[in-house]
A and B are shown apart, each in its own frame.
Chain A
């Protein structure tokens, strides 16, 4: 690739007078923005590029060549569930009839969209073993925050009453006022318990939600130290709003005492939050609701195959167990006649005559939370629902077992060269603690960079924090044995290189469009726009 030509910024390809667009010229020109007072207009035109269409097309096509996606090769990025993003889902999400819908158009004119929305809510509830879902959150972290808000709203409404989940009935919750400003100020439940092995997003979400983070220690195998949890609950149980957990945890290990944990927290009056980051492992084998979790989020961009898009858009639906539905954020898509919790009507509605309005948009909730302007990332939901329909009940159940088989297979075949810190079964991902033989000083970072040379994306590195040289591999259910075997061979080759030619590994990558980047330079004197780079 000719980098001097294609390494340009779009601004550097701009030339005054070029055009890349065409707009109709016949419109009523009676009015123009020159009518606006000068004080309301910008003084100079924005310095946007001026390029012809082909220049733009070539520029971004060439940029894409410097990227690596799931369609390019194996992407074993732990904790990110880089599964295949089916092409048919893209076709469906791009259908003009969906793309052209305005979110505020009357419900009777967009029943098709509302049906997808409603059915996806219901499907997720069945897969999670929970009662209701909102699809409004735009990402996993957004879902986490929303879920914690739901939990806080619940505690405020319950007036900090100690209850156990089986006693949780909707009529116990007092209707709260319609305004957020003055309500919800009386709960003492302001602490959230988070295992020290958790991803950083958990405590960050808790802090944004105004909760105080209390860390629960992990045992040597990375699972929750139940004795420490008990001690914390004894000390501060009446102040605990919730405990957040990922299961399988961030080491890919199933928490063996999960039932005991959820029970203990419920007895103390707290709710259990399930971080759905690792849900893929469990599809077909267990459901968060059945383990005692009350609130959770799902990453549609992980478990339900929607593309990561270089960082987004994702979607982070939040589900709750029965009795918490009224705390979900608005707007909600509901079936006509189904007021929340009104069971009899729910069944009738399914058989409503086809020419009457079935799905409506509800803004009425007891706690008027809102986490976005409209309904969330509808385009992403279309892809997730298409995925669920493609798999159907007969295939969804194989996802967890197959992903888990692939991870365990990699674990068994790489443990001779890579240090396996925790014996036993893993779930959908496996964590190694660097090379077994560290004598030549080759680090996890070096192994990761060398993998790029061989045409693989690197695994997740230096996470979880429990080990110094974490290397976390998540193969997903979509990868063939041949792909996985080839990857294993390369990992063995790199381990051999680390002994025979450590410099080669330490200076990798060699075959990528750029070499290792100077991130100290970037952080010390940040240049974050083209304009700033011109000053430098």
Chain B
């Protein structure tokens, strides 16, 4: 069994077996009932040398198998710029190969950056408190729904706007169903949450929480004025799922009066990597701190009087509270939280704003040009959008998108029979925008 990850020599093995009082490693499984023993070889490929392994993956990433498309797709995953220092620093093995920082004395690196991460997320979202991160934006939203439900004493349901990303809603639906939370959908009207429907539901009472998204699934920036007061009027909590990269500019969940802000942090420069890993964030008001799921890092002092950081409020967590814990989560997306922290440190106050500004400008430029072709019209005219928007196309949308793909462009995400949703980030050059418009404009409908 000589293999690069197995250090024992034959001599080592014999000596260790002798100490254990057995003659073969298999004897160490003598307590396993025979019917449960696995007595054949696994049907798996043969071991690959490092050279062959590299070749294998190079084959899989050949342009035919992993086409690098110029990305105008969003829908929850965005192609933002990532400064090279970020990827380099998170690869440091002291971060990469460590576990959850239980032993604070030799984990200050991790605890320190999580404290910075929490501070940055709290500041971006305009909230008082942040946890150390969750799996992704969708599960963070589901956790917020459970938080609202456990916070309410006599509520009958949680309201979710139809303008929340359907992928996120599916996850919230799944969690709510099993957890036993009745959900009610608030319909969309011209691409935004119907205020009439929301007000009607709120007036009937019994609402534990309301879940909204900003910018919403269609890229529209909604006006939430007055909603927080109405929700708080009946002791419910307002949850806003926000896109953090836009929060450099947009009114924060805190300013809207939200009690909980959640979302997907991938837009803070994390590579798309086919959808994961990203990072879910959750921030809340101070009064909800003990209802919040996930790890939290706090500041304290050590025995020598130095400022240091430690996992705190652990009595909320599953390893102590078992079935009474606020959640079953027992980790965080720590390395991705580090990614976000370094990204925000490098981009800083101005860089995040500038990237958001460029994304906004690019999306609006693309929109103008698409409308000018005469082949597209805005799906939701007169609604303000940020860096993502929907257009309707009367022809064969699938064929149109397929042609763009042939030309090396991911033209967007199809969100309706006729509706294409496009996103622009600071990575898209004016030339790329021009060329995509050209491709879409020149596309000829096949004749039936």
Closest to B143 in A: A208
Residues in A40-95 with C-beta less than 8 Å from chain B: 40-43, 45-51, 53, 56-57, 59-61, 63-72, 75, 77, 80, 82, 84-86, 88, 90-92, 94-95
Out of B50, B115, B323, which one reaches A528, CB within 8 Å? B115
Out of A47, A140, A378, which one reaches B274, CB within 8 Å? A378
B5 touches A39 (CB 8 A): no
Q: How far is the CA of A99 from the CA of B252 in the complex (A)?
A: 30
A517-B308 contact given A375-B276, A409-B16, A531-B122, CB 8 Å threshold: yes
Q: How far is the CA of A489 from the CA of B291 in the complex (A)?
A: 45
Q: Which A residues touch B68, using CB under 8 A?
A: 96-97, 100
Q: How far is the CA of A48 from the CA of B120 in the complex (A)?
A: 7
Closest to B308 in A: A514
Q: How far is the CA of A533 from the CA of B31 in the complex (A)?
A: 55
B97 touches A85 (CB 8 A): yes
* A351, CB-defined interface residue at 8 Å: no
A310 touches B44 (CB 8 A): no
A389-B174 contact given A40-B384, A405-B28, CB 8 Å threshold: no
A370 touches B365 (CB 8 A): no
* A141, CB-defined interface residue at 8 Å: yes
B333 touches A138 (CB 8 A): yes
Out of B103, B129, B183, B345, which one reaches A457, CB within 8 Å? B103
Q: Which B residues touch A368, using CB under 8 A?
A: 170
* A5, CB-defined interface residue at 8 Å: no
Stretch among A142-150, A163-171, A318-326, A342-350 lining the B interface: A142-150
Task: Looking at the assembled complex, report how far the CB atom of A77 sits from the nearest CB atom of chain B, in whole angstroms.
Answer: 6
* B43, CB-defined interface residue at 8 Å: yes
Out of B332, B348, B365, which one reaches A50, CB within 8 Å? B348
How many residue pairs link A and B with beta carbons under 8 A? The number is 690
Q: Which B residues touch A373, using CB under 8 A?
A: 76-77, 136-138, 165, 167-168, 171, 264, 275
Out of A43, A308, A517, which one reaches B104, CB within 8 Å? A517
* B152, CB-defined interface residue at 8 Å: no
* A467, CB-defined interface residue at 8 Å: no
Out of B95, B178, B362, which one reaches A69, CB within 8 Å? B95
Mask of A286-298 contacts with B, CB within 8 angstroms, 1/0: 1100110000000
* B202, CB-defined interface residue at 8 Å: no
* B318, CB-defined interface residue at 8 Å: yes
B29 touches A401 (CB 8 A): yes
B306 touches A514 (CB 8 A): yes
Task: Looking at the assembled complex, report how far the CB atom of A417 sits from the nearest CB atom of chain B, in whole angstroms.
Answer: 15
Q: Which A residues touch B346, using CB under 8 A?
A: 20-21, 51, 53, 56
A112-B79 contact given A46-B124, A138-B276, A517-B301, CB 8 Å threshold: no
Task: Looking at the assembled complex, report how far the CB atom of B135 sits from the nearest CB atom of chain A, in whole angstroms.
Answer: 4
Q: How far is the CA of A478 from the CA of B97 in the complex (A)?
A: 14
* A28, CB-defined interface residue at 8 Å: yes
B167 touches A449 (CB 8 A): no
* A438, CB-defined interface residue at 8 Å: no
* A379, CB-defined interface residue at 8 Å: yes
Task: Looking at the assembled complex, report how far the CB atom of A299 sits from the nearest CB atom of chain B, in whole angstroms.
Answer: 10
Stretch among B59-67, B229-237, B374-382, B438-446 lining the A interface: B59-67
A180 touches B361 (CB 8 A): no
* B435, CB-defined interface residue at 8 Å: no
Out of A104, A393, A533, which one reaches B44, CB within 8 Å? A393
A393-B41 contact given A59-B345, A312-B331, A370-B174, CB 8 Å threshold: yes
Q: Which B residues touch A209, using CB under 8 A?
A: 178-179
B325 touches A68 (CB 8 A): no
A24 touches B104 (CB 8 A): no
* B350, CB-defined interface residue at 8 Å: yes
B65 touches A372 (CB 8 A): no
Q: Which B residues touch A31, using CB under 8 A?
A: 360-361, 364-365, 368
Q: Which B residues touch A75, using CB under 8 A?
A: 99
Residues in B304-363 with C-beta less than 8 Å from chain A: 304, 306-308, 310, 312-315, 317-325, 327-336, 338, 341-342, 344-358, 360-362
* A110, CB-defined interface residue at 8 Å: yes
Out of A97, A207, A377, which one reaches B325, CB within 8 Å? A207
A409-B100 contact given A40-B384, A139-B331, A514-B308, CB 8 Å threshold: no
* A264, CB-defined interface residue at 8 Å: no
Q: How far is the CA of A518 from the CA of B25 in the complex (A)?
A: 45
Closest to B57 in A: A92
Q: Which B residues touch A531, using CB under 8 A?
A: 119, 122-123
Q: How far is the CA of A312 from the CA of B401 in the complex (A)?
A: 36
Out of B105, B168, B426, which one reaches A513, CB within 8 Å? B105
Q: Which A residues touch B329, using CB under 8 A?
A: 139, 141-142
Which of under 10, 10 to 19, 20 to 34, or 35 or more describes the interface residues of B?
A: 35 or more
B357 touches A33 (CB 8 A): yes
Q: Which B residues touch A66, using CB under 8 A?
A: 106-109, 112
A529-B361 contact given A409-B20, A478-B6, CB 8 Å threshold: no
A311 touches B25 (CB 8 A): no
Q: How far is the CA of A313 from the CA of B341 in the complex (A)?
A: 15
Q: How far is the CA of A397 from the CA of B409 in the complex (A)?
A: 45
* A30, CB-defined interface residue at 8 Å: yes
Stretch among B7-15, B193-201, B204-212 lining the A interface: B7-15
* B399, CB-defined interface residue at 8 Å: no
Q: Which B residues touch A172, using CB under 8 A?
A: none
Q: Which A residues touch B271, using CB under 8 A?
A: 99-100
Out of B298, B306, B331, B348, which one reaches A48, CB within 8 Å? B348
Out of A139, A412, A449, A530, which one reaches B19, CB within 8 Å? A412
* A239, CB-defined interface residue at 8 Å: no
* B1, CB-defined interface residue at 8 Å: yes
Task: Looking at the assembled complex, report how far the CB atom of A355 sits from the nearest CB atom of chain B, in whole angstroms.
Answer: 9
Out of A109, A129, A371, which one reaches B67, CB within 8 Å? A109
A310 touches B95 (CB 8 A): yes
Residues in A362-390 with C-beta less than 8 Å from chain B: 368-380, 382, 386, 388-390
A378 touches B275 (CB 8 A): yes
* A329, CB-defined interface residue at 8 Å: yes
Q: How far is the CA of A395 from the CA of B4 in the complex (A)?
A: 10
* A269, CB-defined interface residue at 8 Å: no
A181-B177 contact given A310-B101, A311-B295, A480-B7, CB 8 Å threshold: yes
Mask of B57-100 contacts with A, CB within 8 angstroms, 1/0: 10111111111110101011101010101010101111111111
Task: Looking at the assembled complex, report how far the CB atom of A300 sits from the nearest CB atom of chain B, in whole angstroms.
Answer: 12
Q: How far is the CA of A480 from the CA of B71 in the complex (A)?
A: 47
A310-B349 contact given A31-B364, A529-B129, CB 8 Å threshold: no
B66 touches A149 (CB 8 A): no
Closest to B165 in A: A373
Mask of A120-150 contacts with B, CB within 8 angstroms, 1/0: 0001001101000000001111101100110
Q: Which A residues touch B360, using CB under 8 A?
A: 31-33
Task: Looking at the assembled complex, report how far the CB atom of B33 sits from the nearest CB atom of chain A, in whole angstroms.
Answer: 6
* B203, CB-defined interface residue at 8 Å: no
Closest to B99 in A: A308
B110 touches A311 (CB 8 A): yes
Out of A46, A71, A82, which one reaches B93, CB within 8 Å? A71
A374 touches B31 (CB 8 A): no
B313 touches A523 (CB 8 A): yes
* B188, CB-defined interface residue at 8 Å: no
Mask of B254-277 contacts with A, CB within 8 angstroms, 1/0: 010000000010000001111111
* A408, CB-defined interface residue at 8 Å: yes
Task: Looking at the assembled complex, report how far the CB atom of A46 sits from the nearest CB atom of chain B, in whole angstroms.
Answer: 5
Q: Which A residues touch B328, using CB under 8 A?
A: 141, 144-145, 201, 204-205, 207-208
Out of B20, B110, B365, which one reaches A405, CB within 8 Å? B20
Q: List 23 A-B contacts (CB under 8 A).
A: A20-B85, A40-B384, A46-B352, A48-B124, A49-B344, A60-B92, A72-B97, A85-B96, A91-B54, A106-B405, A112-B60, A142-B139, A207-B324, A286-B36, A310-B335, A394-B41, A395-B5, A395-B6, A397-B41, A409-B16, A516-B105, A526-B312, A530-B116
Given pairs A285-B29, A393-B41, 4 additional interface contacts (CB within 8 A): A213-B323, A312-B277, A376-B275, A481-B12
Per CB-CB distance, the 6 closest pairs between chain A and chain B, nearest first, are: A374-B275, A392-B47, A103-B275, A112-B65, A309-B335, A67-B109
